[in-house]
């Protein structure tokens, strides 16, 4: 149980590092929260800081998600399961299949808690008075370990299809968040507690897009490349 709690707390703390605010303040003497859509993520960084700023925020946010997932898969989950790290590193699938009681499979729980931790840390950052971003980059990176490369690539494809079809980044993001628990039905079948944690996290990510959903309904959402004034 200690390692399960650690998996959540470490991921939450990693997720809570507000790279968008740090990069924009240090390198651009701006605060992303006062610019464009006011969001601290990659889309708004691209929009208001340019390609270099956007790439930096993406890399750092993605990096904290990767680190959360990696720590869960290769440090906390093996500790929870009582398996040495080198075996875990050799076979992540073996770890997921290790429990005779899938509903409370500690490995699945550990991975789901890391996923929830880094996304919630990003969205409710204690350093930003429990405000933050929308969790897409960080959650996607973590999914590379939670679902593995195939699940990750499906999510990237869903995101890309949503963005390319509509030129709204938020549509790709929301579509990926909707698909996430559906994919979990395959990757975490039987691991129901873990699946509910993944589902709840995806719902919070969708909720974090509520302003985008409002703008999409009103027809005022910001399109990629649009010269129109950015709506908050
Ligand atoms: O994931 C964030 C993206 O979907 C929307 O960002 O800045 O347009 O609110 P933004």
Q: What residues are paired with 131 via a beta bridge?
A: 125
Those residues whose C-beta lies under 8 Å from the C-beta of residue 213, and which sit 6 or more positions away, are 170, 174, 206
Per-residue confidence in pLDDT tens, the chain, 232 aa: 889 999 999 999 999 999 999 999 999 999 999 999 999 999 999 999 999 999 999 999 999 999 999 999 989 988 888 877 777 666 666 667 666 666 778 889 999 999 999 999 999 999 999 999 999 999 999 999 999 999 999 999 999 999 999 999 999 999 999 999 999 999 998 899 999 999 999 999 999 999 999 999 999 999 987 766 677 7
- DSSP annotation of 125: B
CA distance 150 to 104: 24
pTM: 0.93
Give the DSSP letter of residue 92: H
Instruction: Please tell me the distance from the alpha carbon of residue 40 to that of residue 43, in angstroms, as a whole number.
Output: 8
Query: What is the CA(75)–ligand 1 centre distance, in A?
Result: 32
Residues 6+ apart with CB under 8 A from 132: 16, 18, 40, 121, 122, 123, 124, 125
Residue 212 in contact with ligand 1 by CB distance below 6 A: yes
Angle at 110 (CA atoms; ends 105, 113), nearest 5 degrees: 120
CA 204, 205, 211 angle in degrees (round to 5)?
100
Ligand 1 centroid distance, CA of 76 (Å):
31
Predicted pLDDT at 92: 65
DSSP letter for 165, please.
H
Which residues, 6 or more positions from 223, have their beta carbon under 8 angstroms from its beta carbon?
A: 167, 168
Whether ligand 1 lies within 6 angstroms of the CB of 68 is answered as no
Kindly give the number of the ligand 1 atom that is closest to the alpha carbon of 170.
4
ipTM above 0.90, yes or no: yes
Contact (Cβ atoms closer than 8 angstroms) between residue 15 and residue 114: no
**Which pLDDT belongs to residue 91?**
64
The pair of structure tokens assigned to 65 is 């998600």
Mutate which of 54, 58, 136, 206 for ligand 1 pocket (most atoms within 8 A of beta carbon): 136
Q: Which residue CA neighbors atom 5 of ligand 1 most closely?
A: 170
């Amino acid at each position: 149980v200690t390692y399960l709690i650690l998996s959540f707390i470490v991921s939450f703390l990693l997720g809570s590092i507000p790279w968008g605010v740090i990069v924009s303040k240090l390198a651009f003497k701006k605060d992303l929260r006062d610019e464009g859509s006011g969001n601290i993520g990659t889309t708004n960084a691209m929009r208001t800081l340019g390609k270099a700023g956007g790439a930096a925020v993406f890399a750092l946010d993605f990096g904290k998600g990767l680190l959360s997932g990696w720590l869960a898969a290769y440090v906390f989950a093996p500790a929870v399961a009582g398996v040495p790290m080198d075996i875990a590193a050799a076979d992540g699938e073996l770890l997921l299949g290790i429990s005779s009681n899938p509903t409370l499979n500690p490995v699945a729980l550990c991975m789901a808690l890391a996923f929830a931790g880094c996304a919630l840390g990003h969205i409710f950052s204690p350093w930003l008075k429990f405000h933050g971003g929308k969790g897409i980059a960080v959650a996607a990176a973590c999914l590379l370990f939670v679902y593995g490369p195939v699940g990750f690539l499906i999510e990237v494809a869903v995101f890309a299809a949503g963005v390319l079809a509509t030129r709204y980044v938020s549509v790709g993001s929301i579509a990926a968040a909707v698909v996430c628990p559906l994919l979990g039905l395959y990757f975490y079948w039987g691991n129901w507690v873990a699946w509910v944690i993944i589902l709840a996290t995806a719902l919070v990510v969708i909720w974090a897009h509520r302003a985008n959903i409002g703008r999409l309904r009103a027809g005022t959402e910001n399109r990629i490349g649009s010269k129109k004034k950015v709506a908050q």
